[in-house]
Chain A
Amino acid sequence: MAAIEVRGLEREFEGGIKAVCGVDLEVAEGEIYAFLGPNGAGKTTTVRMLTTLLRPTAGSASVAGYDVVSDAGRVREQIGVALQEAALDPLMTGRELILLQATLHRLSRADGKRRAEELLERVDLQDAADRRVGTYSGGMRRRLDLASALVHEPRVLFLDEPTTGLDPVSRKAIWSEVAHLNREGATVFLTTQYLEEADQLANRVGIIAGGLIVAEGTPAQLKAEVGRPHVEIAIHDGEVDRAREVVARLGKPLPPKDGLVLLELEGGATQIAPVVRALDEAGLTVESLDLVEPSLDDVFVAKTGRHLEADEAGAEEAGAAAEA
Protein backbone atom coordinates (compact mmCIF):
# COMPACT_ATOMS: atom_id res chain seq x y z
CA MET A 1 0.00 0.00 0.00
CA ALA A 2 1.25 3.47 -0.86
CA ALA A 3 1.72 5.83 2.08
CA ILE A 4 0.36 8.70 0.01
CA GLU A 5 -1.79 8.34 -3.08
CA VAL A 6 -3.04 11.38 -4.95
CA ARG A 7 -5.24 11.43 -8.06
CA GLY A 8 -6.20 14.56 -10.00
CA LEU A 9 -5.96 16.76 -6.91
CA GLU A 10 -7.11 20.32 -7.47
CA ARG A 11 -7.71 23.38 -5.34
CA GLU A 12 -9.41 26.47 -6.60
CA PHE A 13 -9.74 29.51 -4.34
CA GLU A 14 -12.37 32.23 -4.36
CA GLY A 15 -12.00 34.38 -7.45
CA GLY A 16 -11.19 31.36 -9.60
CA ILE A 17 -7.51 31.20 -8.68
CA LYS A 18 -6.32 27.63 -9.17
CA ALA A 19 -3.32 26.88 -6.95
CA VAL A 20 -3.19 23.15 -7.69
CA CYS A 21 -4.35 21.96 -11.10
CA GLY A 22 -4.55 18.17 -11.10
CA VAL A 23 -1.69 16.61 -9.18
CA ASP A 24 -1.12 12.85 -9.39
CA LEU A 25 1.49 11.21 -7.23
CA GLU A 26 2.26 8.16 -5.18
CA VAL A 27 4.70 7.90 -2.28
CA ALA A 28 5.71 4.44 -1.08
CA GLU A 29 6.00 3.49 2.59
CA GLY A 30 9.42 4.43 3.94
CA GLU A 31 10.22 6.80 1.09
CA ILE A 32 11.41 10.42 1.28
CA TYR A 33 9.57 12.35 -1.39
CA ALA A 34 10.53 15.95 -2.09
CA PHE A 35 8.19 18.41 -3.72
CA LEU A 36 10.47 20.91 -5.40
CA GLY A 37 9.29 24.21 -6.79
CA PRO A 38 9.40 27.98 -6.45
CA ASN A 39 7.10 30.07 -4.26
CA GLY A 40 3.53 29.97 -5.51
CA ALA A 41 4.02 26.68 -7.37
CA GLY A 42 1.33 24.91 -5.29
CA LYS A 43 3.55 23.02 -2.83
CA THR A 44 2.04 24.34 0.38
CA THR A 45 -1.53 24.12 -0.93
CA THR A 46 -0.92 20.45 -1.76
CA VAL A 47 0.52 19.80 1.70
CA ARG A 48 -2.43 21.59 3.32
CA MET A 49 -4.82 19.32 1.43
CA LEU A 50 -2.86 16.17 2.32
CA THR A 51 -2.79 17.16 6.00
CA THR A 52 -6.58 17.82 6.00
CA LEU A 53 -6.18 21.55 6.60
CA LEU A 54 -7.78 22.40 3.26
CA ARG A 55 -10.44 20.57 1.28
CA PRO A 56 -9.64 19.73 -2.34
CA THR A 57 -12.06 21.14 -4.90
CA ALA A 58 -11.50 18.13 -7.17
CA GLY A 59 -9.65 14.83 -7.19
CA SER A 60 -8.86 12.53 -4.31
CA ALA A 61 -6.01 11.80 -1.93
CA SER A 62 -5.34 9.21 0.71
CA VAL A 63 -2.66 9.20 3.40
CA ALA A 64 -1.72 6.02 5.28
CA GLY A 65 -4.69 4.37 3.57
CA TYR A 66 -7.30 6.93 4.68
CA ASP A 67 -9.11 9.43 2.51
CA VAL A 68 -8.18 13.02 3.41
CA VAL A 69 -11.81 14.18 3.16
CA SER A 70 -14.03 11.31 4.33
CA ASP A 71 -11.55 9.92 6.89
CA ALA A 72 -9.80 13.13 7.89
CA GLY A 73 -9.74 12.22 11.59
CA ARG A 74 -7.91 8.95 10.90
CA VAL A 75 -5.44 10.76 8.64
CA ARG A 76 -4.65 13.21 11.44
CA GLU A 77 -3.90 10.31 13.79
CA GLN A 78 -1.30 8.94 11.35
CA ILE A 79 0.55 12.09 10.36
CA GLY A 80 3.07 14.46 11.87
CA VAL A 81 3.12 17.97 10.46
CA ALA A 82 5.78 20.68 10.63
CA LEU A 83 4.45 23.66 8.77
CA GLN A 84 6.25 26.44 6.96
CA GLU A 85 7.79 29.16 9.18
CA ALA A 86 7.49 26.93 12.29
CA ALA A 87 4.12 28.05 13.67
CA LEU A 88 5.15 28.10 17.32
CA ASP A 89 3.75 30.17 20.17
CA PRO A 90 6.62 32.43 21.28
CA LEU A 91 5.14 32.65 24.78
CA MET A 92 5.27 28.90 25.41
CA THR A 93 8.37 27.03 26.47
CA GLY A 94 9.69 24.21 24.31
CA ARG A 95 8.63 21.63 26.88
CA GLU A 96 5.12 23.10 27.19
CA LEU A 97 4.70 22.91 23.42
CA ILE A 98 5.66 19.24 23.23
CA LEU A 99 3.47 18.36 26.22
CA LEU A 100 0.54 20.15 24.58
CA GLN A 101 1.19 18.26 21.37
CA ALA A 102 1.24 15.00 23.36
CA THR A 103 -2.16 15.83 24.85
CA LEU A 104 -3.53 16.66 21.40
CA HIS A 105 -2.44 13.18 20.30
CA ARG A 106 -4.03 11.54 23.36
CA LEU A 107 -0.85 10.42 25.08
CA SER A 108 -1.24 9.94 28.83
CA ARG A 109 0.39 12.54 31.06
CA ALA A 110 3.22 10.14 31.99
CA ASP A 111 3.82 9.10 28.36
CA GLY A 112 3.74 12.73 27.28
CA LYS A 113 6.43 13.67 29.82
CA ARG A 114 8.61 10.72 28.85
CA ARG A 115 8.23 11.46 25.15
CA ALA A 116 8.99 15.15 25.70
CA GLU A 117 12.25 14.27 27.44
CA GLU A 118 13.24 11.86 24.65
CA LEU A 119 12.44 14.31 21.88
CA LEU A 120 14.06 17.33 23.52
CA GLU A 121 17.22 15.27 23.91
CA ARG A 122 16.98 13.99 20.36
CA VAL A 123 16.85 17.50 18.88
CA ASP A 124 19.40 18.78 21.38
CA LEU A 125 17.09 21.22 23.14
CA GLN A 126 17.22 19.88 26.73
CA ASP A 127 19.04 22.97 27.97
CA ALA A 128 16.56 25.34 26.34
CA ALA A 129 13.46 23.25 27.14
CA ASP A 130 12.15 25.61 29.82
CA ARG A 131 12.93 28.81 27.94
CA ARG A 132 10.22 30.59 25.99
CA VAL A 133 10.22 29.80 22.27
CA GLY A 134 10.44 33.53 21.54
CA THR A 135 14.09 33.40 22.68
CA TYR A 136 15.00 30.50 20.31
CA SER A 137 17.05 30.90 17.13
CA GLY A 138 15.53 29.92 13.78
CA GLY A 139 17.31 26.57 13.83
CA MET A 140 16.13 25.79 17.38
CA ARG A 141 12.55 26.61 16.40
CA ARG A 142 12.71 24.25 13.45
CA ARG A 143 14.14 21.48 15.59
CA LEU A 144 11.41 22.03 18.18
CA ASP A 145 8.78 22.02 15.45
CA LEU A 146 10.18 18.75 14.13
CA ALA A 147 10.23 17.24 17.64
CA SER A 148 6.63 18.23 18.26
CA ALA A 149 5.58 16.61 14.98
CA LEU A 150 7.13 13.34 16.16
CA VAL A 151 5.49 13.13 19.56
CA HIS A 152 3.02 10.37 18.55
CA GLU A 153 5.49 8.52 16.30
CA PRO A 154 3.61 9.28 13.06
CA ARG A 155 3.66 6.94 10.06
CA VAL A 156 3.86 9.81 7.59
CA LEU A 157 5.68 13.04 8.27
CA PHE A 158 4.91 16.23 6.31
CA LEU A 159 7.58 18.91 6.38
CA ASP A 160 6.70 22.15 4.63
CA GLU A 161 9.94 23.94 3.70
CA PRO A 162 11.69 22.69 6.84
CA THR A 163 14.92 24.60 6.27
CA THR A 164 13.83 27.82 4.59
CA GLY A 165 15.75 30.74 6.04
CA LEU A 166 18.14 28.59 8.07
CA ASP A 167 21.93 28.87 8.09
CA PRO A 168 23.88 25.97 6.51
CA VAL A 169 24.74 24.37 9.86
CA SER A 170 21.12 24.34 11.07
CA ARG A 171 20.01 23.13 7.65
CA LYS A 172 22.39 20.17 7.80
CA ALA A 173 21.21 19.34 11.34
CA ILE A 174 17.61 19.14 10.09
CA TRP A 175 18.66 17.04 7.07
CA SER A 176 20.47 14.63 9.33
CA GLU A 177 17.43 14.29 11.61
CA VAL A 178 15.09 13.72 8.65
CA ALA A 179 17.39 11.05 7.25
CA HIS A 180 17.55 9.44 10.70
CA LEU A 181 13.75 9.40 10.96
CA ASN A 182 13.48 7.84 7.56
CA ARG A 183 15.93 5.11 8.52
CA GLU A 184 13.62 4.39 11.46
CA GLY A 185 10.81 3.75 8.98
CA ALA A 186 8.92 7.05 8.67
CA THR A 187 7.64 8.10 5.28
CA VAL A 188 8.59 11.73 4.69
CA PHE A 189 6.90 14.16 2.33
CA LEU A 190 8.78 17.42 2.23
CA THR A 191 8.43 20.55 0.19
CA THR A 192 11.44 22.61 -0.63
CA GLN A 193 12.70 25.34 -2.87
CA TYR A 194 16.30 24.23 -2.36
CA LEU A 195 17.78 22.03 -5.08
CA GLU A 196 20.48 20.71 -2.80
CA GLU A 197 17.93 19.69 -0.17
CA ALA A 198 15.90 17.64 -2.64
CA ASP A 199 19.07 16.16 -4.09
CA GLN A 200 20.59 15.20 -0.74
CA LEU A 201 17.53 13.93 1.07
CA ALA A 202 14.95 12.61 -1.33
CA ASN A 203 14.56 9.13 -2.77
CA ARG A 204 12.25 10.70 -5.33
CA VAL A 205 11.57 14.25 -6.39
CA GLY A 206 8.46 15.79 -7.89
CA ILE A 207 9.03 19.10 -9.62
CA ILE A 208 5.96 21.31 -9.39
CA ALA A 209 5.36 24.50 -11.34
CA GLY A 210 2.08 26.34 -11.85
CA GLY A 211 0.16 23.80 -9.79
CA LEU A 212 1.24 20.81 -11.90
CA ILE A 213 3.93 18.16 -11.53
CA VAL A 214 6.18 18.68 -14.53
CA ALA A 215 8.75 15.97 -13.75
CA GLU A 216 9.09 13.14 -11.28
CA GLY A 217 11.69 10.51 -10.51
CA THR A 218 14.82 9.81 -8.51
CA PRO A 219 17.31 12.68 -8.61
CA ALA A 220 19.59 10.49 -10.77
CA GLN A 221 16.79 9.66 -13.21
CA LEU A 222 15.76 13.27 -13.55
CA LYS A 223 19.34 14.41 -14.16
CA ALA A 224 19.91 11.61 -16.65
CA GLU A 225 16.93 12.89 -18.60
CA VAL A 226 18.62 16.20 -19.27
CA GLY A 227 22.15 15.08 -20.01
CA ARG A 228 25.22 13.17 -18.88
CA PRO A 229 28.05 14.40 -16.69
CA HIS A 230 30.89 16.24 -18.42
CA VAL A 231 34.41 17.28 -17.52
CA GLU A 232 35.64 20.84 -17.80
CA ILE A 233 39.40 20.86 -18.46
CA ALA A 234 41.53 23.99 -18.21
CA ILE A 235 44.62 23.60 -20.43
CA HIS A 236 47.63 25.85 -20.91
CA ASP A 237 46.96 28.58 -23.53
CA GLY A 238 47.64 27.50 -27.11
CA GLU A 239 47.10 23.82 -26.44
CA VAL A 240 43.29 23.78 -26.28
CA ASP A 241 42.74 22.48 -29.83
CA ARG A 242 45.27 19.68 -29.38
CA ALA A 243 43.69 18.73 -26.05
CA ARG A 244 40.27 18.52 -27.70
CA GLU A 245 41.72 16.12 -30.30
CA VAL A 246 43.35 13.97 -27.61
CA VAL A 247 40.25 13.51 -25.46
CA ALA A 248 37.71 13.29 -28.29
CA ARG A 249 37.99 9.49 -28.52
CA LEU A 250 37.15 9.11 -24.80
CA GLY A 251 33.73 10.85 -24.86
CA LYS A 252 31.55 13.31 -26.74
CA PRO A 253 33.22 16.72 -27.17
CA LEU A 254 30.98 19.66 -26.32
CA PRO A 255 31.41 23.22 -27.65
CA PRO A 256 34.22 24.95 -25.68
CA LYS A 257 33.23 27.53 -23.09
CA ASP A 258 35.45 30.24 -21.56
CA GLY A 259 38.55 28.59 -22.99
CA LEU A 260 37.75 25.27 -21.32
CA VAL A 261 37.71 21.91 -23.05
CA LEU A 262 34.33 20.27 -22.43
CA LEU A 263 33.84 16.52 -22.79
CA GLU A 264 30.66 14.57 -22.04
CA LEU A 265 31.44 11.27 -20.28
CA GLU A 266 28.96 8.43 -20.45
CA GLY A 267 30.54 6.74 -17.43
CA GLY A 268 30.83 9.87 -15.31
CA ALA A 269 33.59 9.85 -12.67
CA THR A 270 34.86 6.39 -13.71
CA GLN A 271 36.16 7.86 -16.96
CA ILE A 272 38.20 10.68 -15.46
CA ALA A 273 41.35 8.60 -15.00
CA PRO A 274 41.66 7.67 -18.71
CA VAL A 275 41.17 11.34 -19.67
CA VAL A 276 43.93 12.48 -17.31
CA ARG A 277 46.24 9.69 -18.54
CA ALA A 278 45.64 10.56 -22.20
CA LEU A 279 46.40 14.25 -21.61
CA ASP A 280 49.51 13.36 -19.63
CA GLU A 281 50.79 10.95 -22.31
CA ALA A 282 50.27 13.72 -24.91
CA GLY A 283 52.47 15.99 -22.77
CA LEU A 284 49.67 18.49 -22.10
CA THR A 285 49.62 20.44 -18.84
CA VAL A 286 46.26 20.28 -17.08
CA GLU A 287 45.65 23.37 -14.94
CA SER A 288 42.36 22.10 -13.52
CA LEU A 289 39.78 19.44 -14.17
CA ASP A 290 36.21 19.42 -12.85
CA LEU A 291 33.52 16.80 -13.21
CA VAL A 292 30.19 18.58 -13.68
CA GLU A 293 27.01 16.59 -13.05
CA PRO A 294 23.65 17.82 -14.36
CA SER A 295 21.77 19.43 -11.49
CA LEU A 296 18.11 19.47 -10.58
CA ASP A 297 18.17 23.08 -11.69
CA ASP A 298 19.07 21.84 -15.18
CA VAL A 299 16.04 19.55 -14.93
CA PHE A 300 13.90 22.47 -13.76
CA VAL A 301 15.13 24.58 -16.67
CA ALA A 302 14.50 21.78 -19.14
CA LYS A 303 10.95 21.28 -17.88
CA THR A 304 9.86 24.86 -17.23
CA GLY A 305 12.27 27.05 -19.19
CA ARG A 306 13.22 28.93 -16.00
CA HIS A 307 15.88 28.60 -13.33
CA LEU A 308 14.44 27.67 -9.92
CA GLU A 309 16.88 29.89 -8.05
CA ALA A 310 16.32 32.81 -10.42
CA ASP A 311 12.60 32.40 -9.72
CA GLU A 312 13.30 32.55 -6.02
CA ALA A 313 15.42 35.67 -6.37
CA GLY A 314 12.64 37.24 -8.41
CA ALA A 315 10.07 36.32 -5.80
CA GLU A 316 12.25 37.74 -3.03
CA GLU A 317 12.82 40.96 -4.96
CA ALA A 318 9.09 41.25 -5.57
CA GLY A 319 8.48 40.63 -1.86
CA ALA A 320 11.05 43.26 -0.86
CA ALA A 321 9.51 45.74 -3.31
CA ALA A 322 6.04 45.04 -1.92
CA GLU A 323 7.29 45.55 1.65
CA ALA A 324 8.99 48.81 0.66
Chain B
Amino acid sequence: MNRLVDNARVVAALGRRSVRQTFRRPQLMAPIIIFPSLLLAVQTGGAGRAVDLPAFPEVNGFLDFMLAGAMIQSCMLAGNSGGIALAVDIEMGFTDRLLAAPISRFAIVLGRLAGTAALGAFSAVYYVAIGLIFGAQIEEGILGVLLMITFVTLAAVAFGGIGAAIALRSGSASVVQGLFPLVFVIMFLSSAFFPADLMLQPASAIADYNPISFIVEGVRDPVISTVTGEGAWQAFASILGIGVASLGLSSLALRHRLRTGG
Protein backbone atom coordinates (compact mmCIF):
# COMPACT_ATOMS: atom_id res chain seq x y z
CA MET B 1 0.00 0.00 0.00
CA ASN B 2 2.81 2.37 0.96
CA ARG B 3 4.55 1.54 -2.28
CA LEU B 4 1.41 2.44 -4.22
CA VAL B 5 1.06 5.76 -2.39
CA ASP B 6 4.76 6.53 -3.01
CA ASN B 7 4.40 5.77 -6.71
CA ALA B 8 1.24 7.90 -6.90
CA ARG B 9 3.15 10.80 -5.31
CA VAL B 10 5.95 10.37 -7.85
CA VAL B 11 3.49 10.28 -10.78
CA ALA B 12 1.77 13.41 -9.43
CA ALA B 13 5.11 15.22 -8.97
CA LEU B 14 6.24 14.32 -12.48
CA GLY B 15 2.83 15.33 -13.83
CA ARG B 16 3.12 18.75 -12.15
CA ARG B 17 6.57 19.17 -13.63
CA SER B 18 5.24 18.24 -17.06
CA VAL B 19 2.46 20.86 -16.86
CA ARG B 20 4.86 23.55 -15.61
CA GLN B 21 7.28 22.66 -18.40
CA THR B 22 4.54 23.09 -21.01
CA PHE B 23 3.43 26.46 -19.63
CA ARG B 24 7.06 27.65 -19.43
CA ARG B 25 8.01 26.55 -22.95
CA PRO B 26 5.84 28.38 -25.51
CA GLN B 27 6.73 25.96 -28.30
CA LEU B 28 5.03 23.17 -26.30
CA MET B 29 2.00 25.29 -25.43
CA ALA B 30 1.36 26.83 -28.85
CA PRO B 31 0.15 23.63 -30.56
CA ILE B 32 -2.34 22.99 -27.77
CA ILE B 33 -4.00 26.42 -27.76
CA ILE B 34 -2.92 28.63 -30.64
CA PHE B 35 -3.06 26.29 -33.67
CA PRO B 36 -6.46 24.72 -32.93
CA SER B 37 -7.87 28.16 -31.97
CA LEU B 38 -6.68 29.65 -35.26
CA LEU B 39 -8.06 26.74 -37.26
CA LEU B 40 -11.34 27.01 -35.35
CA ALA B 41 -11.56 30.74 -36.09
CA VAL B 42 -10.63 30.39 -39.77
CA GLN B 43 -12.96 27.47 -40.44
CA THR B 44 -15.86 28.86 -38.48
CA GLY B 45 -15.48 32.24 -40.15
CA GLY B 46 -14.77 30.94 -43.65
CA ALA B 47 -16.89 27.82 -43.96
CA GLY B 48 -19.85 28.72 -41.77
CA ARG B 49 -22.30 28.24 -44.67
CA ALA B 50 -21.45 24.53 -44.69
CA VAL B 51 -24.28 24.03 -42.21
CA ASP B 52 -26.72 24.78 -45.08
CA LEU B 53 -25.57 21.75 -47.05
CA PRO B 54 -28.10 18.99 -47.34
CA ALA B 55 -27.30 16.10 -44.95
CA PHE B 56 -25.26 18.36 -42.67
CA PRO B 57 -26.20 17.51 -39.08
CA GLU B 58 -28.68 19.85 -37.49
CA VAL B 59 -26.71 22.38 -35.44
CA ASN B 60 -27.22 25.84 -33.98
CA GLY B 61 -24.10 27.06 -35.78
CA PHE B 62 -20.90 25.84 -37.40
CA LEU B 63 -18.95 26.66 -34.21
CA ASP B 64 -21.05 24.11 -32.30
CA PHE B 65 -20.03 21.48 -34.87
CA MET B 66 -16.35 22.49 -34.89
CA LEU B 67 -15.74 22.63 -31.13
CA ALA B 68 -15.24 18.88 -30.73
CA GLY B 69 -12.73 18.81 -33.61
CA ALA B 70 -10.72 21.64 -32.03
CA MET B 71 -10.67 19.84 -28.68
CA ILE B 72 -9.50 16.54 -30.14
CA GLN B 73 -6.94 18.29 -32.32
CA SER B 74 -5.68 20.10 -29.23
CA CYS B 75 -5.39 16.92 -27.17
CA MET B 76 -3.66 15.06 -30.03
CA LEU B 77 -1.15 17.90 -30.20
CA ALA B 78 -0.85 17.84 -26.40
CA GLY B 79 0.14 14.18 -26.71
CA ASN B 80 2.66 15.11 -29.38
CA SER B 81 4.05 17.96 -27.24
CA GLY B 82 4.33 15.56 -24.30
CA GLY B 83 6.31 13.18 -26.51
CA ILE B 84 8.60 16.02 -27.61
CA ALA B 85 9.17 17.04 -23.97
CA LEU B 86 9.97 13.44 -23.01
CA ALA B 87 12.42 13.15 -25.92
CA VAL B 88 14.07 16.43 -24.81
CA ASP B 89 14.42 14.93 -21.32
CA ILE B 90 16.13 11.90 -22.85
CA GLU B 91 18.40 14.04 -25.01
CA MET B 92 19.54 16.24 -22.11
CA GLY B 93 19.95 13.31 -19.70
CA PHE B 94 17.15 14.29 -17.33
CA THR B 95 15.55 10.87 -17.80
CA ASP B 96 18.74 9.28 -16.43
CA ARG B 97 18.22 11.26 -13.22
CA LEU B 98 14.76 9.67 -12.92
CA LEU B 99 16.00 6.21 -13.87
CA ALA B 100 18.68 6.38 -11.17
CA ALA B 101 16.01 6.99 -8.50
CA PRO B 102 14.26 4.18 -6.61
CA ILE B 103 10.94 4.54 -8.44
CA SER B 104 8.96 2.33 -10.79
CA ARG B 105 10.44 2.90 -14.25
CA PHE B 106 6.97 3.11 -15.79
CA ALA B 107 6.14 5.95 -13.36
CA ILE B 108 8.29 8.13 -15.63
CA VAL B 109 5.87 7.49 -18.51
CA LEU B 110 2.81 7.74 -16.29
CA GLY B 111 4.04 11.04 -14.84
CA ARG B 112 4.35 12.46 -18.34
CA LEU B 113 0.87 11.17 -19.22
CA ALA B 114 -0.59 12.62 -16.02
CA GLY B 115 0.67 16.00 -17.20
CA THR B 116 -0.79 15.42 -20.66
CA ALA B 117 -4.13 14.48 -19.05
CA ALA B 118 -4.13 17.74 -17.09
CA LEU B 119 -3.40 19.65 -20.31
CA GLY B 120 -6.20 17.75 -22.04
CA ALA B 121 -8.64 18.78 -19.29
CA PHE B 122 -7.36 22.37 -19.51
CA SER B 123 -7.83 22.39 -23.27
CA ALA B 124 -11.39 21.01 -22.96
CA VAL B 125 -12.32 23.73 -20.48
CA TYR B 126 -10.66 26.38 -22.66
CA TYR B 127 -12.57 25.36 -25.80
CA VAL B 128 -15.87 25.07 -23.95
CA ALA B 129 -15.27 28.60 -22.65
CA ILE B 130 -14.34 29.87 -26.13
CA GLY B 131 -17.42 28.19 -27.56
CA LEU B 132 -19.76 29.69 -24.98
CA ILE B 133 -18.22 33.15 -25.37
CA PHE B 134 -18.76 33.05 -29.14
CA GLY B 135 -22.31 31.78 -28.98
CA ALA B 136 -22.16 28.00 -29.01
CA GLN B 137 -24.89 26.15 -27.14
CA ILE B 138 -24.27 22.92 -25.30
CA GLU B 139 -27.47 20.93 -25.58
CA GLU B 140 -26.66 18.52 -22.74
CA GLY B 141 -25.77 21.29 -20.28
CA ILE B 142 -23.37 20.77 -17.37
CA LEU B 143 -23.44 16.99 -17.55
CA GLY B 144 -22.59 17.22 -21.24
CA VAL B 145 -19.65 19.49 -20.44
CA LEU B 146 -18.39 17.03 -17.83
CA LEU B 147 -18.64 14.18 -20.33
CA MET B 148 -16.74 16.21 -22.93
CA ILE B 149 -13.97 17.03 -20.42
CA THR B 150 -13.74 13.36 -19.43
CA PHE B 151 -13.44 12.15 -23.02
CA VAL B 152 -10.90 14.81 -23.98
CA THR B 153 -8.80 14.10 -20.86
CA LEU B 154 -8.78 10.36 -21.51
CA ALA B 155 -8.07 10.89 -25.20
CA ALA B 156 -5.09 13.10 -24.29
CA VAL B 157 -3.64 10.21 -22.25
CA ALA B 158 -4.18 7.79 -25.14
CA PHE B 159 -2.54 10.13 -27.67
CA GLY B 160 0.18 10.98 -25.16
CA GLY B 161 1.06 7.30 -25.07
CA ILE B 162 1.82 7.39 -28.80
CA GLY B 163 4.12 10.39 -28.34
CA ALA B 164 5.79 8.72 -25.36
CA ALA B 165 6.33 5.45 -27.25
CA ILE B 166 8.01 7.24 -30.15
CA ALA B 167 10.07 9.42 -27.81
CA LEU B 168 11.29 6.41 -25.84
CA ARG B 169 12.07 4.38 -28.94
CA SER B 170 13.82 7.15 -30.86
CA GLY B 171 15.16 9.36 -28.04
CA SER B 172 14.91 12.22 -30.50
CA ALA B 173 12.71 15.31 -30.18
CA SER B 174 12.91 15.99 -33.91
CA VAL B 175 11.53 12.53 -34.72
CA VAL B 176 8.52 13.12 -32.43
CA GLN B 177 8.10 16.60 -33.89
CA GLY B 178 7.96 14.95 -37.32
CA LEU B 179 4.59 13.45 -36.34
CA PHE B 180 3.05 16.90 -36.21
CA PRO B 181 1.78 16.97 -39.85
CA LEU B 182 0.45 13.44 -39.42
CA VAL B 183 -1.93 14.74 -36.76
CA PHE B 184 -3.55 17.00 -39.37
CA VAL B 185 -3.80 14.20 -41.95
CA ILE B 186 -5.50 11.91 -39.41
CA MET B 187 -7.81 14.71 -38.32
CA PHE B 188 -8.84 15.63 -41.87
CA LEU B 189 -9.52 11.96 -42.61
CA SER B 190 -12.05 11.87 -39.78
CA SER B 191 -15.33 13.63 -39.09
CA ALA B 192 -13.51 16.19 -36.93
CA PHE B 193 -13.90 19.11 -39.32
CA PHE B 194 -16.53 17.91 -41.76
CA PRO B 195 -19.31 15.31 -41.66
CA ALA B 196 -18.07 11.97 -43.05
CA ASP B 197 -21.26 11.58 -45.08
CA LEU B 198 -20.42 14.70 -47.10
CA MET B 199 -16.84 13.69 -47.93
CA LEU B 200 -15.74 12.18 -51.24
CA GLN B 201 -14.56 8.59 -51.41
CA PRO B 202 -12.24 7.16 -50.24
CA ALA B 203 -11.95 9.83 -47.51
CA SER B 204 -15.55 9.20 -46.46
CA ALA B 205 -14.93 5.45 -46.00
CA ILE B 206 -11.69 6.10 -44.09
CA ALA B 207 -13.49 8.61 -41.86
CA ASP B 208 -16.24 6.06 -41.16
CA TYR B 209 -13.70 3.66 -39.64
CA ASN B 210 -11.22 6.19 -38.24
CA PRO B 211 -11.34 5.87 -34.42
CA ILE B 212 -10.81 9.63 -34.22
CA SER B 213 -14.26 10.03 -35.78
CA PHE B 214 -15.82 8.00 -32.97
CA ILE B 215 -14.01 10.04 -30.34
CA VAL B 216 -14.97 13.34 -31.99
CA GLU B 217 -18.60 12.26 -32.27
CA GLY B 218 -18.60 11.28 -28.60
CA VAL B 219 -17.38 14.77 -27.69
CA ARG B 220 -19.67 16.46 -30.24
CA ASP B 221 -22.92 14.74 -29.28
CA PRO B 222 -23.39 16.64 -25.98
CA VAL B 223 -22.98 19.94 -27.88
CA ILE B 224 -25.27 19.43 -30.86
CA SER B 225 -27.77 16.78 -29.81
CA THR B 226 -28.25 14.27 -27.03
CA VAL B 227 -25.78 11.74 -25.72
CA THR B 228 -26.60 8.19 -26.79
CA GLY B 229 -25.27 5.09 -25.10
CA GLU B 230 -23.97 3.78 -28.40
CA GLY B 231 -22.11 7.00 -29.32
CA ALA B 232 -20.58 7.32 -25.85
CA TRP B 233 -19.54 3.66 -25.83
CA GLN B 234 -17.95 3.92 -29.31
CA ALA B 235 -15.99 6.98 -28.19
CA PHE B 236 -14.88 5.31 -24.98
CA ALA B 237 -13.94 2.07 -26.75
CA SER B 238 -11.89 3.99 -29.33
CA ILE B 239 -10.03 5.86 -26.59
CA LEU B 240 -9.50 2.63 -24.69
CA GLY B 241 -8.21 0.85 -27.80
CA ILE B 242 -5.76 3.64 -28.66
CA GLY B 243 -4.76 3.93 -24.98
CA VAL B 244 -4.06 0.22 -24.49
CA ALA B 245 -2.07 0.06 -27.72
CA SER B 246 -0.08 3.24 -27.03
CA LEU B 247 0.69 2.35 -23.40
CA GLY B 248 1.71 -1.14 -24.51
CA LEU B 249 4.05 0.35 -27.11
CA SER B 250 5.43 2.80 -24.53
CA SER B 251 6.14 -0.06 -22.17
CA LEU B 252 7.95 -2.01 -24.90
CA ALA B 253 9.94 1.07 -25.94
CA LEU B 254 10.94 1.73 -22.32
CA ARG B 255 12.09 -1.87 -21.88
CA HIS B 256 14.11 -1.65 -25.08
CA ARG B 257 15.73 1.57 -23.90
CA LEU B 258 16.58 0.09 -20.50
CA ARG B 259 17.99 -3.07 -22.07
CA THR B 260 20.14 -1.40 -24.69
CA GLY B 261 20.95 1.80 -22.79
CA GLY B 262 19.70 4.01 -25.61
Contacts and interface: CB of A to CB of B under 8 A. Distances in A.
Interface size class of B (residues with CB under 8 A): 20 to 34
B141 interface: no
Nearest to B97: A87
B89 interface: yes
A87 B93 contact: yes
Nearest to B98: A104
B25 interface: yes
A180 interface: no
A104 B96 contact: no
13 contacts: A53-B96, A54-B261, A55-B259, A81-B97, A81-B100, A87-B96, A87-B97, A88-B94, A92-B17, A92-B20, A96-B20, A99-B13, A101-B97
A77 interface: yes
Contact of B93 (A73, A85, A92): A85
B17 A101 contact: no
Contact of A76 (B6, B9, B100): B100
Interface of B: 6, 9-10, 13-14, 17, 20-21, 24-25, 89, 92-94, 96-103, 258-261
A295 to B, nearest CB: 32
Contacts of A48: 261
Given A87-B94, A88-B94, A100-B13, 13 more contacts: A14-B260, A51-B100, A55-B259, A81-B96, A81-B97, A92-B17, A99-B13, A100-B17, A104-B10, A104-B13, A104-B101, A106-B9, A106-B102
A105 interface: yes
Nearest to B101: A104
Nearest to A75: B102
Contacts of B100: 51-53, 76, 79, 81, 83
Contacts of A96: 17, 20
A91 interface: yes
Contacts of A203: none
A290 interface: no
A245 B102 CA distance: 67
Given A55-B261, A104-B101, A104-B103, A89 B13 contact: no
Interface in A121-150: 132, 148
Contacts of A85: 93
Contacts of A79: 100
Contacts of B9: 103, 106
A89 B94 contact: yes
